[in-house]
Amino acid sequence: MDFSGFMALALDQARTGFAEGGVPVGAVLVGAEGRLLGAGRNRRVQQGDPIAHGEMDCLRQVGRLRSYAGTILFTTLTPCMMCTGTILQFGISRVVIGENRSFAGNEDFLRSRGVEVTVLDDPDCVALMRRFQAERPEVWAEDIGEG
């Protein structure tokens, strides 16, 4: 499966969120057969919604599925505990992470629960998040619960 193509779509979502004044985290969900099911981005700032993280918005855009088995979630940043819980709740099989330098997420917890986790350490994901953290540190602190 071409990780770079799907991660590029997630990064496009993150860039859109950044341009909107929000937190630049994007996500896409891909079906077991390799078909794009939906995309989303962190919209906490834009919608005033504290749980509108990129992964959560992506799943909202996808809508209900009978089963998430075999699906792959591509996210530009390692998932927080809320998004990790959602991944586990719905049985998403694999998570591909753009970068984990900016935030120490819950990769080990996902792995311990049988989720396959791949970290790409994508330089474009790192650069976008570092720019955001430098330009809007107060929004970043709020997003990760330190604000």
Active site positions, annotated: 55
In angstroms, the CA 50 to CA 73 distance is: 21
DSSP secondary structure letter of residue 144 = T
Do 17 and 42 touch, CB atoms closer than 8 A?
yes
User: 20: Cβ–Cβ under 8 A, 6 or more apart, which residues?
Assistant: 43, 45, 46
Whether 37 and 10 have beta carbons less than 8 Å apart is answered as no
